[in-house]
Every structure is written in structure tokens, then in C-alpha cells.
Structure 1
Amino acid sequence: MKQIYNLLLISSLDPPELNIRVTPSGDLIQGSDVTVSCIVNSRPEPSSIKWTNITDPDLQDIDCSHKNNTHCMLTLSDINILDSGTYQCQVDNGVKGSPVTLNKNIIVYGPARWYNFDTDDHVNGVSIGATTNFKVWVIARPLPRQDQWKWKFSPSNSSNVMTTDPGHVHLTVYDDMAVLSITNVTISYYGNYCIWTNNQYGGWADDKLMFILKPQGILTFLF
């Protein structure tokens, strides 16, 4: 007697399942190389996998250093605190409910860095002898204590001498960012003006927070 068997294979089609792994684990320190892997479990295989930095509009559709149907590896080399942000992995396999996204906050610790600046009326130059106001946005992690901020001036004819001139300094702290407001500063000399600060991950950040008043009375900001 001949028996006939009918087999029916049922395969479930679901939106992708995602997991994110960061290597190395623990605190990420400036200067490190970091790998952020998006691990994908998908049936059918995904038609697209991509990374974006939703914190920075200039970092969309970041190229993966290694990519296949199961993962997309994002490599960040020589990171600094400005690389901190929310990175998003997006995977689409064409099934209802996709694309699926998963976010990962990347936090980098490092010394203070210049982030932005502003002057009165957004001027490009200040005459010698004028009184003006400055605002400097600084990002650091962890943020320096208030007593770790200094305002210094080095006359152009004595570059090896730094004199402390605190002026009218007001510090406002927002989480890992600070706004340093310097008001009613009289520009009596031309030379190097520095905002110095420090935290446990680095030395004084004068090279990131410096501007020069030239003899012509023009401010040059060193980014």
C-alpha cells in the first residue's frame, strides 16, 4: 500500500528584530576607536540597512564599514565629544510594520572644546579700545566646575606672558554644555585672548577657545 504525505511548510514573515552592540563597552574616551553594530534578525532578508545620526543633520545615511544581511557595522575612529549623539539603525524587509528603527545614545568623554560663539550684533571686528560682549558655547564631559574656568590675555609683544583678566564672566551650565558670557570687556591691547578650562580628561583647552585681536582691530576666531 502506497502512502502519500503532503507537507506544508509555514514560514512566518515578520518585521525585523534589531539589537545594537557597542565595542568597547564602558565609558568611551576621546581618541578611542568605537564599533557600533546593528544586529538584524529578519525573514525575509532585509532590503536595506542603514545608520543615521539623528542628532546631527549632516550625518545622514552613514556608510557601514562592514555590512551583510545580518548586521551593519559602524566604525567611529579617533572619536571626540562632538561625536556624541543619538545614532539610529533602520532596517526594511518589505513586511508590514517595517522599516524598523532602533536608537543608541553614544556618549564620549573628553576635554572641553569650543562649540559656538557670538559677539555683539554678530560683528566681525572690534576696534581697539572698544567695549564689547562675548558669548562662547563650550561642550565637555564631564563639565568643568565653575572654579575651573579662567579668562586670560597675552599681549602680542610678550607671547610668553599670560595675565589673568577675569572681566565680567557669567557661566550658565546646561547638562554637558556651558555658555560663558563675558560682558563689558574693554579691548585695550591686541594679542591673544583665551578662555581656559579643564576637566579630568584633558589639559587646558586654550587651543580650542582662543581668538586674536590684530593691530587692525579685527577679531580672528581660532576654531
Structure 2
Amino acid sequence: MAEKRTYSSKYIAKRFYVSAINFFDSCKILKEYVIKNDNPSIIYPLIYLERHTLELILKSLILSEIKKQTIINGLEVDILGKRFDLSRTHSLDILLDNYCNVQLESRIVPIFDERIKTFKDVIIKYDSYDRNGEFYKYPLTKTGKLTPNKLWNESDSSISNEIGKKDSYFIFDFDSLPTTIKQVYNVDKKAIFFKEQFFDMILYFIDLSPFKRV
């Protein structure tokens, strides 16, 4: 029987980071496709990929900061006296909280800044609809409804006036000379909001990673 291999938290953190970057590269390809083909439906799988990229980069950051003695078993770790299994956790809200906690536990001065509070607010809002990252994975719900329709919650006063509204999505194309503005029509306003917020978060957290590509 082959001997079971064990890996260090830093090794696993690097693998999570590489996977996150691969997903992020796919996000960039889809984003370019939206621009070139004026296809608003592509925004939905794009949000799914961005959300998953965030999940992976947060897991990488947690493992890269964690102390060796806090690894309990596999991807189960101890953070501030509480057990936390990375392999079973998909909530961005929980992952962000644990990243902040491990920073507070391992550093005198955390490396994140005040933008974390803004990210937290956005993630709480998104997690209330898509805690496990399954929302945009499939085009239809079990009841046959289009997946994007699930995002609109009439009881949510903060977005109720945006329900069903479509908007134009403007993108600056800096690759062209002179710079042009391209437009994609009929995109859900809330989808645009989350897509842009997630993209900014990914760039922010990649910049905090010890594995950041030069």
C-alpha cells in the first residue's frame, strides 16, 4: 500500500493560488468576449468564475498566513481557538472573516486596509443569495426559472427598485488607439455591480498574496 503523502500549508496555499489565477485568466477571456460579441448573458458565468476565484484566493491567503501548529488535519485549521475546515467552506463571508482573524492572530499589524469593510458589505449582500457559489453555475433552477431571476428579491429594499431593470454596460477599451468606449446592452444592473466589485476584490487580494506573479 502506497504511503500517504502530506503537504505543508504553504504548498497547498500555492496550489490554491495557482488555481485562482487560472480561473481569473478565464474571467479576463470572458470579459473580452462580452465586449467583442455584445453578449450580456456571458456576464452570468463570468460572475460565477469571479466568485470562485475569490473563494480560492481567500483560501490561499488563509493557509499562507496560518501557523504550522494550527493545522489540525488536512485542510482543517484552528483560528482563534475555533476549528475551521477549508475543504467544506464555500461562503465568501466566512472565508473573509477567517482571513481577517488569521491576520490578527499572526501579525502585529494586519496587511489589509479599510477597503476590507467595503468588501465585507458587498460579500454579505451576495452571500445572502449565493452562500455556496452555486447560483450562476446552472442556467435554470430546479423549478425551471432562469437562474439570474433568483437574484432579485422584492423584500430587499436596497435593491427592490432595480428588480427586472436592464442597463447598458460601458467598457473602456484601452487596447485600441485612440481609446474607445464599447457598449453591451440589456444587462441586469445588479449583475454589473457584483461583476465589477468581484473583479476589484480579486485584484486587491492577489496583490496581498506572497505568491503574486511579477
Task: Please classify the TM superposition score into its range, dividing by the shorter chain length.
Answer: under 0.3
Using the size of structure 2 for normalisation, the TM-score is 0.24
Higher helix share: 2
Using the size of structure 1 for normalisation, the TM-score is 0.24
- Greater relative contact order (CA < 8 Å, ≥ 6 in sequence): 2
